[in-house]
Structure 1
Amino acid sequence: MRSENKKKKRTWLRVTGILVLLILIGTGVYGYTVYKSLTNAVDTMHEPIERKKSEKRTEQITLEKKEPFSVLMLGVDEREGDRGRSDSMIVLTVNPNQNSVKMLSIPRDTRTEIIGKGYDDKINHAYAFGGVEMSMNTVENFLDIPIDYYMQINMEGFKDIVDAVGGVTVNNDLDFTYEGVHFPKGQLTLNGEKALKFSRMRYEDPRGDFGRQLRQREVIQGVLKKGASLSSLTNYDEIFTALGNNIKTNMKFNEMVDIQKNYRAAAKSVEQMSIKGSGTKIDKVYYLVVPDEEKQRVQNELKTHLEIN
């Protein structure tokens, strides 16, 4: 049961990660009161890290010049008394020249070198060993691209965000019941808990992952519609509080403003990428081993999107 719950959390983070960035990209600032509420939330979210300049980024990125950038999303299962675990790792590359976002989910069991430890292990162990910094360095080495920003997300935080915007409206094309909740066909309005369940179900869907991805996109679009009409909402303070309580990032407020101004069109085109490997046991421990040619394929696609020669 515990393993199944972790799998559900990892699945949902594929939605949560891109969703939060799209809210930041797609939401404007309306009026002084909203502006103040937003800046307070950003102050709460902002958590700089001490990290050496990336060897893969020769010059400092300038968002004002609309340069492509990357973000590492870490979905963290926070635990009392320790650092917690990064149950989900998602890399986003954003290119305003192509008006597109690429989203790569890295399987947590992927075997790679843990930068700072000097040996191979599961990629998600980097967070347990050395937090955000080691995670960024390890992913950067694995994908051979610069990681410019990070965004750490509390796994349970998405429900608060959905509830803060007053729920989401989705179009459901499959009648099903999941974890005690019945989802009939047609237009549905869901709160945070139900939205989470709506997007988790897979095994009862004859389309498998494809059907689940359709439902995930419905939820994403539902929240984006609410986010786009933020100026007409009266509970913007609750929305920003939900974001502030559940997200940590090294993005500064002025950088978020630049993203909102210069990159928002990119949010209209989001492409999901996957990386393939084979499950293998090494010293009785399960790993996902990614072949060199597959790793090269993914690296080349991301480098092209980031306009790296």
Structure 2
Amino acid sequence: MQSSSTVKVRSHYRPNSGTGSPGGRPRPKRGFPPLGKGLVWGGLVTLTATVAAIAGVGIGFFSPWTRGLVQQIVPGQSGALEQSQGDLFPYHISRPINILVMGIDRVEPTEAEPNVDEFGGRSDTMLLVRFDPRENSLKLLSIPRDTRVFIPDVGYTKINDANAYGGPQLAARVINRNLGEVPIDRYVRVTTDALQELVDLVGGVEVFVPRPMFYEDKTQQLLIDLPAGLQTLNGQQAEQFVRFRYDANGDIGRVQRQETLLKALQNRLSHPSMIARIPKAIGIMHKTVDTNLTMEEILALVNFGRQLDRQEVQMVMLPGRFSQESEFDGRSYWVMSDAGKRQVLRNYFDVIEEVPTWAETPGRSPERLRIALQNATDDPQALERVKEYLLAKDFRNFYETSESPQLLAETKILVQRGDLDGAHYLQQTLGGGVVEASSVGDLGSDLTIQVGLDINQWLQNPATTDNLSPQPQSGEPGF
């Protein structure tokens, strides 16, 4: 279907007919205990992926691939679904799969165009998701809707136009060509209006709203009104949370909130009461999803999901910058970073180029890592102590950002631009902190350290450079 042999998206799509606590920050809470590996988690991963896709952070709900990629574990069985009798275990994926997930603004029919394709509008969300059975991981790349790309026969424009011009086939080709020939195996398109139903179905999601969000557009009958603080959002409020873009970071702030919502969904779906609601969620999806899935492929995805722990889900946003008013005739874009793009594709999608990563750069220096420091404790002097610690470890390129509105029990190292090697090196240097692969830190950083209430534990940790992987000499690879 594609001119590029690496992109394999079936033509099963309908063609377009047209172009906290009082007096301070809330204390950390204990969540539900994880359910561990098993069938339940597989179903929850599937449901999380569904809701997330609609919310704009999807992990590729019911992400499909060809029957050739779905193998029978039990010898002698045919591919007939009825022979499985609902048993998920005969199905698995045989190699890494890349899925394009798009949340689409539904196109409503009119008298002039009664047969309009409801999935033919612009994409409100675009993600590239990698299911990797070799690493037993799920990796998600959020592509901001304002990303500047070249679309054949159209020219340079925003990437969210691709679906409207040519459906998932064109969208896949645009991503493939602009991101360095990343193979795309399948697509999923979900209308964004399903978010409210699904969040309400799971009983809402607990999210910390960092600041008041208010916006009203009477012509579009749109009202967003969320107070700041920790709260349980219903479906309508969750949609407001992920679609609000009227702050300093605009569309990029949306991407970060979408990742936050995904984490909240994962926490919510780990509750045992969610199991009984999965069939109803599938019913909701039946009317809101356009994809080339088969039932065997759905079962293969669930079987893959049942082997995942939550920490094996890694998220990253396409690195880049906001365009300047003097560029591109004043039209606002997200301009992708070539170096950042290569790093993400290498670390998350196994696209190997001749450009070395930070970890492989001869004579690498910690000074190359740009680190943001955020205070998530009730100690106003916490960051000063962290700065002294970093200086003693030869880190120089760090800066403070605004304090976290929420206290954290555990220090986090947020991988803002996909540099997983650098994050683990920093973690090893500190002797503490949890690496979290999500782009919800400071936009200007490579890594953001959210200093938690466990600061005394790792500041007193005897970690020294003697414990670390040796610094490579010229010509030696890192790590």
TM superposition score normalised by structure 2: 0.45
The Cα of 1:196 is off from its aligned counterpart by 3.3
Aligned mate of 2:127, from 90, 96, 113: 90
Aligned mate of 1:112, from 149, 155, 170: 149
Deviation by residue 1:106-154 (Cα, 9 ceiling, x = unmatched): 1222222324x27433222211111111011111222221111111111
| Secondary structure of the corresponding residue to residue 137 of structure 1 | helix
Deviation by residue 1:159-199 (Cα, 9 ceiling, x = unmatched): 1112233x1353759796864455765xx554312333456
| Secondary structure of the corresponding residue to residue 333 of structure 2 | strand
| Secondary structure of the corresponding residue to residue 141 of structure 1 | helix
CA–CA separation in structure 2 for the residues paired with 1:152 and 1:287: 23
CA–CA separation in structure 1 for the residues paired with 2:104 and 2:283: 19
8 A Cα contact 2:322 2:335, kept in partner = yes
8 A Cα contact 2:59 2:140, kept in partner = no
CA–CA separation in structure 1 for the residues paired with 2:154 and 2:237: 43
8 A Cα contact 1:72 1:149, kept in partner = yes
- Residue 152 in structure 1 maps to residue 189 in structure 2: yes
| Secondary structure of the corresponding residue to residue 277 of structure 1 | strand
Unaligned runs of 5+ in 1: 1-11, 26-45, 54-59
Deviation by residue 1:36-58 (Cα, 9 ceiling, x = unmatched): xxxxxxxxxx9x9xxxx9xxxxx
Q: Identify the residue that residue 253 of structure 1 maps to in structure 2.
A: 295
CA–CA separation in structure 2 for the residues paired with 1:112 and 1:171: 33
The Cα of 1:217 is off from its aligned counterpart by 4.3
Q: Identify the residue that residue 127 of structure 1 maps to in structure 2.
A: 163
CA–CA separation in structure 2 for the residues paired with 1:118 and 1:238: 41
Q: Identify the residue that residue 269 of structure 2 maps to in structure 1.
A: 224
Q: 1:195 to 1:301 in 2, by over 3 A?
A: same
| Secondary structure of the corresponding residue to residue 239 of structure 2 | helix
8 A Cα contact 1:168 1:189, kept in partner = yes
Aligned mate of 1:272, from 310, 315, 326: 315
The Cα of 1:223 is off from its aligned counterpart by 4.5
- Residue 69 in structure 1 maps to residue 97 in structure 2: yes
CA root-mean-square deviation: 4.0
CA–CA separation in structure 1 for the residues paired with 2:332 and 2:316: 23
| Secondary structure of the corresponding residue to residue 92 of structure 1 | strand
CA–CA separation in structure 2 for the residues paired with 1:119 and 1:184: 43
- Residue 292 in structure 1 maps to residue 331 in structure 2: no
CA–CA separation in structure 1 for the residues paired with 2:263 and 2:305: 22
Q: Which amino acid aligns with 1:245?
A: K
Which of the two has higher C-alpha Rg?
Answer: 2
Farther-moved stretch of structure 1 (215-224 vs 124-133): 215-224
Structure showing the higher helix proportion among its residues: 1
Q: 1:307 to 1:70 in 2, by over 3 A?
A: farther
Q: Which amino acid aligns with 1:96?
A: P
Deviation by residue 1:66-120 (Cα, 9 ceiling, x = unmatched): 31111111111122345311122111112122222221111222222324x2743
Q: 1:197 to 1:284 in 2, by over 3 A?
A: closer
Q: Which amino acid aligns with 1:168?
A: G
Q: Where do residues 163-174 of structure 1 align in structure 2 (5 Å cutoff)? A: 163-165=200-202, 167-168=203-204, 170=206, 172=208
The Cα of 1:284 is off from its aligned counterpart by 4.6
Q: Which amino acid aligns with 1:97?
A: R
Farther-moved stretch of structure 1 (130-139 vs 266-275): 266-275
Unaligned runs of 5+ in 2: 1-50, 72-91, 215-223, 355-479
Sequence identity (%)? 25
